[in-house]
Amino acid sequence: MQEPKNNLDQLMRDPKAAGLLKQKDLLKSLMQSPDTQRLMQMLSQNAGDGLKSAASAAAKGDAGQLTGLLQQVMQSKEGAQLVERINRAVPQDQR
């Protein structure tokens, strides 16, 4: 059985993504923030069990499903505001 491909190598080749991934304290802070927690809750509510399969597909290099779910959530005012606040929490040079 072949091990699924992981896109971490590809992600690490992107200078901005690699820089962000190396900032463990920032990532931990982002993941534990109330905005991120609420966004994850909204994604779960919208996708149900589909969130797990979308995350799994994204980990293997196909972010299409996850992107679609995020776009659905961002159509709501709250979802758009959450994503904007999370985006602002990332230092400008890491975007």
State pTM to two decimals: 0.70
Q: Tell me how far apart the alpha carbons of residues 32 and 4 are, in angstroms, rounded to a whole number.
A: 28
Residue boundaries of the structural domains of the chain:
9-88
pLDDT of residue 6: 54
Token pair, residue 37, equals 């927690």
Check: CB of residue 57 under 8 Å from CB of residue 67: no
Residues with Cβ within 8 Å of residue 42, at least 6 apart in sequence: 73, 76, 78, 79, 82
- Two tokens at 83? 């994503």
Place of tokens 């992600």: 11
pLDDT at 95: 54
Per-residue pLDDT tens digits for 30-77:
999 999 999 999 999 888 888 888 888 888 888 899 899 999 999 999
